[in-house]
């Protein structure tokens, strides 16, 4: 075979050299980017505000933030479950990192502090029935054993300190138990999603207790993406499925003219590992080691922990509840408390306090 011509070798060498330079600069940029490696870095700034600035400077510089799928268990918001968050019939259970929580919190804060132009189309209580939701309401809380009644109702608990009267608290369960029509077809099979929450209108409080979203329930009940005869899973979800929208319709019906009186939103007995991990990190404790009875630890706007908590599924649900409904347009979140109650293992809770 004849040797290569020097005229052909020189351009090839120049091209290879340029590619190596570009590749080396990309690797260096990724390695040196602040806050995008492990959330725990021995060389990182330990000041919370400085850490937040470091991370956000990275976010604002155009770095891609991975959209994390939120697995749902007991008391998990249905707001942030994307159609891309399942693979076959297996829900992806990826860890929510501190950086991802901050990115989610940035989205929540933007929604709350922006023009609030994304108003929910769900504002009529009758839309629940139209989308296959059945509402079982007004069960007095004192008859609900082993729930917030036990955890919150002691002399030093949040009910007493915030003057929330248990006698005026009622559990309402909205269950997606009827076949429904969505934007794809008629006669979709009921998902069996349900949102059980306690509503106390005189005290302006919602206590979220047991919430299972539509996607989770379809997969759990064997109607997932691998079903041999059903259409694609993403097309079999109700249009009205967000925790924030369903809870708003129930609250608005219960509250009547007092819709804007909402002051407290509790997320009770959180067991979702992703949210608990962010709570632990905010409190500065090891996994599942938080013990901090009411009032626990309070975080305020501007603190990095406040932002991270708003980036969890439970925080985003509350942010959407406020931001997407016109009647709450003057509301915002003024603080977040993390606290525990005792048991075999401490139960984790969140309280989002809204502005007046």
Higher pLDDT, 88 or 308: 308
Q: Which of 157, 141, 137 is nearest to 149 (CA)?
A: 141
Q: Would you place residue 301 in the very low, low, confident or very high pLDDT band (cuts 50, 70, 90)?
A: very high
User: How much is the pLDDT for 97?
Assistant: 95
- Taking all residues of the chain, what is their mean pLDDT, rounded to a whole number? 77
Task: State the pLDDT at residue 311.
Answer: 98
Percent of the chain with pLDDT over 90: 55
Model confidence at 104: pLDDT above 90? yes
Residue 54 confidence (pLDDT) above 70: no
What pLDDT does residue 66 have? 29
Q: How far apart are CA 236 and CA 172, in angstroms?
A: 25
Share of the chain above pLDDT 70, in %: 70
**According to the per-residue pLDDT averaged within each range, which of 85-94, 108-117, 163-172, 297-306 is highest?**
297-306
Residue 204 contacts by C-beta under 8 Å, 6 or more apart in sequence?
258, 261, 262, 263, 264
pLDDT at 342: 77
**Which helix (H) or strand (E) segment is 207 a member of?**
strand 205-212
What pLDDT score was predicted for residue 137? Answer: 79
Distance between CA atoms of 277 and 312, rounded to whole angstroms?
A: 10
Rounded mean pLDDT of 86-110?
Answer: 78
Residues in CB range of 193: below 8 A, 6 or more apart = 78, 175, 176, 212, 213, 214, 216, 217, 238, 241
Nearest by Cα to 201 from 249, 259, 139: 259
pLDDT class of 240 with cuts at 50, 70, 90: very high
Q: How many CA atoms lie within 13 A of 334 on its CB side?
A: 9
Q: Has residue 94 got a pLDDT over 60?
A: no
Average pLDDT on 294-302 reads 97
Q: Which of 6-15, 144-153, 193-202, 294-303 has the lowest mean pLDDT?
A: 6-15
Predicted confidence (pLDDT) at residue 69 exceeds the cutoff of 60: no
According to DSSP, the residues that pair with 170 across neighbouring strands are: 140, 199
pLDDT, tens only, 203-235: 999 999 999 999 989 988 888 888 888 899 999
Query: What confidence score (pLDDT) does residue 148 get?
Result: 64
Tell me what the mean pLDDT of segment 271-290 comes to: 95
Preceding peptide of 295 cis, ω within 30°: yes
Chain Cα centroid distance, residue 63: 22
Q: How confident is residue 166, by pLDDT bands cut at 50, 70 and 90?
A: confident
176-208 pLDDT tens trace: 999 999 999 998 989 999 999 999 999 999 999
Residue with tokens 């929208």: 245
Statement: residue 275 has pLDDT above 70: yes
In whole angstroms, give the CA distance from residue 309 to residue 181: 35
Q: Does residue 332 surpass a pLDDT of 80?
A: yes
pLDDT tens digits, 109-163: 999 999 887 789 999 999 999 999 999 977 776 555 445 666 788 888 899 999 9
Which pLDDT band holds residue 45 (cuts at 50, 70, 90)? very low
Cα radius of gyration rounded to whole Å, the chain: 24
């Amino acid at each position: 075979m004849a040797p290569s011509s020097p005229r052909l070798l020189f351009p090839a060498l120049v091209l290879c050299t340029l590619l190596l330079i570009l590749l080396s600069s990309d690797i260096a940029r990724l390695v040196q980017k602040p806050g995008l490696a492990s959330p725990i870095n021995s060389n990182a700034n330990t000041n919370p505000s400085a850490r937040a600035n470091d991370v956000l400077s990275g976010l604002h510089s155009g770095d891609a933030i991975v959209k994390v799928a939120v697995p749902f268990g007991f008391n998990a918001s249905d707001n942030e479950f994307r159609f891309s968050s399942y693979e076959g019939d297996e829900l992806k259970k990826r860890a929510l990192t501190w950086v991802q929580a901050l990115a989610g919190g940035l989205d929540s804060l933007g929604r709350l502090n922006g023009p609030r132009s994304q108003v929910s189309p769900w504002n009529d209580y009758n839309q629940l029935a139209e989308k296959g939701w059945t509402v079982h309401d007004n069960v007095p809380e004192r008859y609900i054993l082993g729930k917030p009644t036990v955890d919150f109702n002691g002399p030093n608990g949040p009910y007493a300190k915030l003057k929330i009267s248990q006698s005026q608290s009622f559990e309402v369960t909205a269950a997606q138990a009827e076949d429904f029509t969505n934007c794809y077809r008629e006669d979709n099979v009921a998902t069996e999603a349900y949102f059980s929450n306690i509503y106390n209108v005189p005290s302006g409080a919602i206590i979220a207790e047991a919430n299972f979203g539509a996607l989770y329930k379809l997969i759990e009940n064997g109607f997932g993406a691998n079903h041999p005869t059903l259409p694609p899973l993403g097309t079999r979800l109700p249009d009205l499925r967000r925790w924030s929208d369903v809870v708003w319709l129930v609250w608005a019906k219960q509250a009547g003219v007092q819709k804007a009186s909402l002051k407290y939103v509790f997320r009770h007995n959180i067991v979702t590992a992703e949210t608990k991990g962010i709570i632990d990190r905010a409190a500065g404790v090891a996994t599942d080691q938080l013990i901090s009875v009411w009032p626990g630890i309070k975080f305020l706007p501007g603190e990095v922990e406040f932002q991270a908590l708003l980036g969890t599924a439970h925080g985003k649900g509350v942010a959407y509840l406020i931001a997407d409904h016109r009647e709450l347009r003057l509301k915002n979140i003024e603080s977040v408390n993390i606290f525990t109650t005792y048991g075999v293992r401490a139960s984790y809770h969140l309280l989002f306090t809204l502005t007046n």
